[in-house]
Structure 1
């Protein structure tokens, strides 16, 4: 049924919003159901209403995205439109991807099995090669894990490409330097920071792909220790600093490491085209030879995401791919190794040790969020959005964390008091 749907204006009353999914690049993302089409869709809605003039510009740009048809490109169904007092609230009605974004998946399981890492990077290159091969080329300009969606079998669908007007509109009132430039700063090339008259070309996306490779292969976010973006950061990138190579897997093929560093080269001319990336990854990894291993790893990750840790535990014993020895639930990484869940770790702790762990977690905002997630007060996309904001927030690190730590110390003191002097 979905194949027969043409690009159109989709009135808000035709979609029943079912669930908040994430905070996207230019607005809020929801899961919904189109009542007439009878299918589940994703709806990405701008944060602010738009006037009539802006509405036409946004619709014109979205139609360009709608014309792109390729296996590794997310399908756009139409423009969501909701009338409001100050204009229209616009959004994009798109394919719904069961496994969400690469960003959300790797927040729960990291690193992914090597076979899936390579296939994801390969399919991203296929999608980008198609976009760059159009006449005129379509630039993505925001290639990052949250813009790489994954279907039920973890195949790639690229989204949020060619939407500069949408992003300009959504960031018009923000003061972040990265917003003024238009991308996400860890994935932006050095030339984008050093020239106010800079006009991006294909090399911009090639650089972003290099940073993406590092993120996929390590399971980490680039420059995660940087609390606030600023001119000092842009200078370091322009001087040649890149993500930490020392945390890459020791058994990573040299050719993959070389390709990654070529993509993020300071010299634009040294960055390989995506068609070259496709060829090199094929030479490094034969997808036909490892077809059965890929299918097995897909099932393992599916089970892990659905909470069936037992399948992960057994895989460590019988699966020949040694990368799976490092497969772990990100939520449990503070206290566990391998595939064991936090509940199995806590079983070996005394009640006193368990209480001390809880108090220790309460000593910073990130730990409090983890406790709320464990108690299912917040979950899924809401947890991911809040955790991401906390990590990046200078205010949290310098102001809130000391206050939270003081409160945790008070709780700890009361705990010690009542433990040593129990109430009769």
Structure 2
């Protein structure tokens, strides 16, 4: 799913799911690429909500079916926490579709539209959203970095806010990637439909190079450009180029370097995020970073945020609480609002590839899409209005509020009707009432007397390196105390203890020095003792054939630091892959260049990297080789004085020299068979 389409050489086919195990619930959405429906999947004795994406309807030969299932197996093998999971495929006589993970909050765009259409967005809300937005941006970067580091790289080519889903905990999940690059699927669709354009993506997110020339092949930098536009939409909660149609977008982006308005980004957000965004949507692809570089950048921003994880957790709690309160409000509001909040917006898996960016309504100006937040005017809390209009609640003064707060007084009807009640009955009722009061008072006195036989609760002081907050009041016999340790210290014991009748239910806790919780080890397991207190140890065990880098065991020292840097797990020398299953061999490079013809450009895979090689006539029928890695911005020419006897010979020497150079710069790993490489140029 890189520049080249998937071929038919993938032996493994995607798992097929029995259509009888799927129970239709409702239709979700339709788009340029597919139709989406919600199903109940009955498997292993349980029922799971899933989304079924119908990719192709119509007949196809057995060979096409087999090739399509091989292509789809690539999606099913993807395993990343921020990528929508593909469970398998469903095929019938005239339908082929994918069964995928379903998320109740649908896309980022639709979720936050529900919020901003019902409340007024303030600077306070902007501050609350900062940690959550940074987290979502980092998750999108992580998912895209994972796709681009597959072999071959998987391009998304339709990255936008409609294709970033949110799960129940507001974690990002990207979807709708790679389908446009699948050879078999495109062949089948081209035979059954006629498209107006061959450009892949959604206007507004397509890079300038492809807008200028539809024959330009997309690259990983095309996804980076789309991410820059997506990041602006996340930061501003607006739709980019909302008032422009596709023709104007294409012209101004490609020829006048039009970009979304940076002044719309709230001032509370870090300046580094804006720099990262501008770099991503740079006009020239070579000026845009890779997602690997973006991942390093966002981690640098995160590391400078104090208590980042706790801030994200609090931000997530407050936004979800706000959302749930709106669900209750909108259950009595207009139909459009209630539909939005009842999870009927569903996942926007569709790409809308060759359509206009937004459907037009008879004129030159586009209508606002149903999934787009209404940003045209400031929104405020809704009130009941007979005209059906939304407006803010009026502000009332204290004098105006006073009559509203006074309880209403009315005389019971039976008092007015029974005017002849005798004085004796009234006095009898009064006497009974006074008797009950007297008995109750005696009981209270007796109870207080018994209670006072116990000693009052002893006030507890704060532990060393910590603070204590206790309930205060006249009752000294029932007290509750909460304990909190200073930063860098952890509590031993209960953080809340109670005193009843003068006795505490537990010992006062103490605060001891702790080390920061180590980060999870990729491709490894981390086992720690004593909850990261002083003298606790953490041991790393590497998985999937990876080898440990650094010390296997680290200890928490008395100064609150770990004894050594945290270890990591990496593949052994000259091996790559999720399970280090692929060796990097020069012989593979040599075989790739064997059939190189004069002036032909051939891509060469080298581990996780790809470079290109070519060769031309140097002089007197001798050949001059050249290889280039555009990502690393490195190239190498080779002519060995008089040149080489063949185009492949010149290219092989150039490739060997380029690999040696990048190995020396630690950008490439050394091959397992360096002895087989040709000599220097």
TM-score higher than 0.5 here? yes
Tell me which residue corresponds to 1:106.
Answer: 112
| Superposition pairs of residues 3-402 of structure 1, within 5 angstroms | 7-24=14-31, 26-37=33-44, 38=46, 39-46=48-55, 48-52=57-61, 54-83=64-93, 88-110=94-116, 113-164=129-180, 165=182, 166=185, 173=193, 175-177=195-197, 180-226=198-244, 228-230=245-247, 232-239=248-255, 240-286=257-303, 289-308=307-326, 372-374=335-337, 380-381=343-344, 392-395=358-361
Q: Residue 70 of structure 1 contacts residue 127 of structure 1 at CA under 8 Å; is this kept in 2?
A: yes
Q: 1:181 to 1:212 in 2, by over 3 A?
A: same
Q: 1:250 to 1:169 in 2, by over 3 A?
A: farther
CA shift at 1:202, angstroms? 0.8
Q: Residue 390 of structure 1 contacts residue 396 of structure 1 at CA under 8 Å; is this kept in 2?
A: no
Tell me which residue corresponds to 1:333.
Answer: none
CA shift at 1:384, angstroms? 9.9
Q: Residue 29 of structure 2 contacts residue 36 of structure 2 at CA under 8 Å; is this kept in 1?
A: yes
Q: Secondary structure at the match of 1:200?
A: coil
CA shift at 1:215, angstroms? 0.7
Q: 1:225 to 1:57 in 2, by over 3 A?
A: farther
Q: Residue 80 of structure 1 contacts residue 92 of structure 1 at CA under 8 Å; is this kept in 2?
A: yes
Q: Identify the structure with bigger relative contact order (alpha carbons < 8 Å, sequence gap 6+).
A: 1
Q: What TM-score do the two structures reach when normalised by structure 1?
A: 0.69
Deviation sequence 1:296-342 (CA, Å, 0-9, x none): 222222233334579xxxxxxxxxxxxxxxxxxxxxxxxxxxxxx68
Q: Residue 9 of structure 1 contacts residue 80 of structure 1 at CA under 8 Å; is this kept in 2?
A: yes
Q: What TM-score do the two structures reach when normalised by structure 2?
A: 0.44
- Residues 23-32 or 45-54, more deviating: 45-54
Q: 1:72 to 1:258 in 2, by over 3 A?
A: same
CA shift at 1:375, angstroms? 7.2
**More helix per residue: 1 or 2?**
1
Q: 1:175 to 1:197 in 2, by over 3 A?
A: closer
Deviation sequence 1:363-391 (CA, Å, 0-9, x none): xxxxxxxx541476997545998xx9999
- Residues 131-140 or 163-172, more deviating: 163-172
Q: 1:22 to 1:71 in 2, by over 3 A?
A: same
How far apart in 2 are the matches of 1:186 and 1:167?
Answer: 23
State how many pairs are aligned.
332
Q: Residue 359 of structure 2 contacts residue 366 of structure 2 at CA under 8 Å; is this kept in 1?
A: no
How far apart in 1 are the matches of 2:366 and 2:203?
Answer: 25
Q: 1:41 to 1:214 in 2, by over 3 A?
A: same
Q: 1:181 to 1:390 in 2, by over 3 A?
A: closer
CA shift at 1:129, angstroms? 0.9
Q: Residue 130 of structure 2 contacts residue 269 of structure 2 at CA under 8 Å; is this kept in 1?
A: no
How far apart in 2 are the matches of 1:69 and 1:210?
Answer: 25
- Structure 2, unaligned runs of 5 or more: 1-12, 368-386, 388-681
How far apart in 2 are the matches of 1:188 and 1:297?
Answer: 32
How far apart in 1 are the matches of 2:230 and 2:366?
Answer: 31
Q: 1:26 to 1:168 in 2, by over 3 A?
A: farther
CA RMSD between the two structures:
3.5
- Structure 1, unaligned runs of 5 or more: 1-5, 311-340, 347-370, 402-414, 416-424
CA shift at 1:54, angstroms? 4.7
Q: Residue 31 of structure 1 contacts residue 42 of structure 1 at CA under 8 Å; is this kept in 2?
A: yes
Q: Residue 50 of structure 1 contacts residue 90 of structure 1 at CA under 8 Å; is this kept in 2?
A: no
Q: Secondary structure at the match of 1:94?
A: strand
How far apart in 1 are the matches of 2:133 and 2:57?
Answer: 36
Q: 1:211 to 1:29 in 2, by over 3 A?
A: same
Q: Secondary structure at the match of 1:68?
A: coil
CA shift at 1:272, angstroms? 0.8
